[in-house]
Amino acid sequence: MTPTPTPTPTPAPTQTTAPRQTALFAAHVARGAKLVDFGGWHMPLQYVGILAEHRAVREAAGIFDVSHMGEIDFRGPRALEAVQGVITNDATRLADGRALYTAVCYPDGGIVDDCIVYRRSAQDFRLVVNASNTAKDLAFFHEHAGQLCDIADRSEQWALIAVQGPDAPGIVAELGEASWLDLPSFAFASGMLAGVPVEAARTGYTGEDGFELFVPAHRSESVWNALLDAGTQPIGLGARDTLRLEARLCLYGHDIDETTTAFEAGLGWVVKLDKLDKTSFTGQEALAALKQQGRKRKLVGFRVEGRGIARPHAEILDADDRVVGQVTSGGPAPTAGGAVGMAYIPAHLAGPGDTIQIRQRGKVLTGRLVQGPFYKRDR
Amino acid sequence: MSDAVPSNLRYTRDHEWARGEDDGTVTIGITAHAVDQLGDITMLTLPEPGSKLETGESFGDVDSVKAVSELFAPLAGEVTSTNDQLDASPELVNAAPYGAGWLVTLRPTDRDSLSNLMDAIAYEKLLAETE
């Protein structure tokens, strides 16, 4: 890994290039991880088994190497203005050390990516983006805000380790700074952990409490091993997916993409058409019009009734057996029980408690619509 | 693969195994290699006893956490029983693919058809090629 910030976009990983490896790759191989290609990266799918790893996060603490995610930094006197111009949420209300979740939209309102914006200082914002979108996002940011501040992909310099589960905050604070326990959700602070300078953010993608740790890539194995020694379990992308699905968190490329809008996806709360600082942003006009029109379809959550597991791409049928929608995420819910999923369906069919017919491979399953997450931790 | 391929079974390219029983039926399951590829198995959909299967016909599904895979009949015959324990404990297939995790038994239309399937040596060779 060469920690050289590059102001120009790095080429997007394609099928023809070998999958990239994170700084922790050797540690995963040494631990016997089963690997999978994901978004151009060679990543752990599982270490011992998806169900056991899922349970470890719900009941104790697990650690995830999510270093494949992109870190794109906006720096300069007009960094806030630049960020505001490309995100749908409103970063003016962020104080230093606070973060928010947002969408990034095309001029037509389709979703470029979803990401978390961290305000490190008034002139230094970090956007953490989906791995497979990093190059696309960087090009988009340069196009729409590149003249306002320095925008650089620093993904190579940073490892990102998520520590999630009921025991996670205690373990992270014990190894790191006790003061991190006072950080509320979506706050972050720097400090030392296992002798390594890190930034600890109270964020995650599992429905559990925990932290995501930004660690200098070349020191990441020290942090990873210290967390393992403290009793955490390593968790692969397999359980990351079942955990986020139970918590009903969207996954870019499945539940949201350039053909979906934030309103349809239930992410209208991150679209601030009237920002405090009155700035405009890419996609604003289209989103204002879409909001006016009302949504024709809606991303719903469902629980499969009886036996069966609905999978992505299964078809949603109306009363006349016409295909009117599609499952975007679906699988077993190890903690909540049964099988759950998300699907786009026509808005008029989306009443709470309604049922939908789901056809896959010649069979029809019934899904009952559920509001909110399938799993919610005790607070 | 660290798991040994049992020498007393016959195999298919779809990573299923078949074992001729003394009563003339054939027991069918999936191999340790299949289990390793699938990961945690969460649900099995198996045919009703009495169902008639043709060789190569899809006769059920294996759902793992990540995906669903089809089962294909290694030989033609009539299903005589299914493993009821798998409804409540699908993880038996992970734990003991050649034992308690068997899937169905069937009465073959032609018992000699078992010899058309790969023996352990041929199956090990197939595994070596797919590694």
What does the block give as tokens for B78?
A: 């009539």
The predicted pLDDT at position A29 comes to 96
Of A165, A334, A163, A117, nearest to A245 (Cα)? A334
Q: Which of A37, A240, A309 to mutate to test the interface with B (most CBs of B within 10 A)?
A: A309
The whole-angstrom separation of Cα A201 and Cα A189 is: 7
What's the pLDDT tens digit per position in B29-76?
A: 999 999 999 999 999 999 999 999 999 999 999 999 988 999 999 999
The predicted pLDDT at position A16 comes to 55
Q: Is the pLDDT of residue B92 over 90?
A: yes
**Terminal C-alpha separation, chain B:** 9
Residue in chain B lying closest to A307 (CA): B43
Q: Which of B65, B69, B71, B91 to mutate to test the interface with A (most CBs of A within 10 A)?
A: B65
Contact A325, A315 (CB under 8 A): yes
What does the block give as tokens for A194?
A: 């296992």
Q: Give the strands of the sheet with A70-75, arranged side by side.
A: A98-105, A111-121, A124-129, A70-75, A150-153
The whole-angstrom separation of Cα A99 and Cα A199 is: 13
Contact B64, B37 (CB under 8 A): no
Q: Which residues pair with A210 in a beta bridge?
A: A164
Contact A287, A262 (CB under 8 A): yes
Q: Which residues pair with B107 in a beta bridge?
A: B78
The whole-angstrom separation of Cα B23 and Cα B6 is: 21
Within an 8 Å CB–CB cutoff, is residue B95 touching chain A? no
Backbone phi, psi, residue A71, to 5°: -110, 115
Minimal C-alpha gap between A275 and chain B (Å): 41
Q: Are B66 and A34 within 8 A, CB to CB? A: no
Read off the pLDDT band of B3 (50, 70, 90): low
The predicted pLDDT at position A351 comes to 82
- Helix/strand/coil for A242: helix
The whole-angstrom separation of Cα A335 and Cα A367 is: 18
The whole-angstrom separation of Cα A49 and Cα B90 is: 14
Minimal C-alpha gap between B2 and chain A (Å): 13
Over its length of 379 residues, how does chain A's per-residue pLDDT go in tens digits?
333 333 333 444 444 578 999 999 999 999 999 999 998 999 999 999 999 999 999 999 999 999 999 999 999 999 999 999 999 999 998 999 999 999 999 999 999 999 999 999 999 999 999 999 999 999 999 999 999 999 999 999 999 999 999 999 999 999 999 999 999 999 999 999 999 999 999 999 999 999 999 999 999 999 999 999 999 999 999 999 999 999 999 999 999 999 999 999 999 999 999 999 999 999 999 999 999 999 999 999 999 999 999 999 999 999 899 999 999 999 999 999 999 999 999 999 988 789 999 999 889 999 999 999 999 998 6
Backbone phi, psi, residue A90, to 5°: -110, 105
- Helix/strand/coil for A129: strand
Q: Is the pLDDT of residue B112 over 80?
A: yes
CB proximity list for A206: less than 8 A, separation 6 or greater: A57, A162, A164, A165, A240, A243, A244, A247
Q: Are B66 and A51 within 8 A, CB to CB? A: no
Residues of chain B with C-beta less than 8 angstroms from the C-beta of A332: 42-43, 63, 65
Residues of chain B with C-beta less than 8 angstroms from the C-beta of A238: 39, 65-66
Of A14, A48, A28, nearest to A238 (Cα)? A48
Q: What is the separation of C-alpha B37 from the centre of its chain, rounded to a whole number of angstroms?
A: 14
Of B42, B65, B68, the CB nearest to A238: B65
- Helix/strand/coil for A191: strand
- Helix/strand/coil for A269: helix
